[in-house]
């Protein structure tokens, strides 16, 4: 189900563009639409960068992958300090 939702969300802009081109075969996107699309792309890029830098792990930490706990529940991934060498 998740794959289907992801595929629909990926294909939706292409479908909207195709419908727009069929409705306006001789029309071109206005400057306002192109400006808004550019602003949207820039905001998305800034959001990706902020998220990436805010979710960083300490370089000296050891990654602990997801695992099954003693009670049978799945424990999320974590980071722990590395033991001294």
Predicted pLDDT at 29: 81
pTM greater than 0.75: no
- Is residue 53 in a domain? no
Domain count, the chain: 1
- The overall average pLDDT reported for the chain is 90
**Rounded Cα gap, residues 10 and 17, in angstroms:** 13
- Is the residue at 45 inside a domain? no
71: Cβ contacts below 8 Å, ≥ 6 apart: none
Q: Residue 41 phi/psi, 5° resolution?
A: -65, -40
The pLDDT of residue 74: 96
- pLDDT tens digit sequence for 41-64: 999 999 999 998 888 788 888 899
Residue 48's pLDDT is: 94
Q: In which domain, by residue range, is 15 found? A: 1-27
Domain assignment present for residue 51? The answer is no
**Domain contains 69:** no
């Amino acid at each position: 189900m998740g794959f289907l939702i992801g595929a629909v969300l990926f294909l939706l802009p292409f479908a909207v563009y195709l419908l727009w081109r069929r409705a306006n075969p001789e029309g071109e996107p206005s400057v306002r639409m192109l400006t808004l699309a550019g602003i949207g792309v820039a905001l998305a890029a800034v959001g990706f960068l902020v998220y990436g830098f805010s979710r960083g792990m300490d370089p000296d930490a050891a990654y602990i992958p997801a695992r099954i706990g003693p009670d049978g529940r799945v424990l999320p991934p974590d980071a722990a300090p590395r033991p001294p060498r």
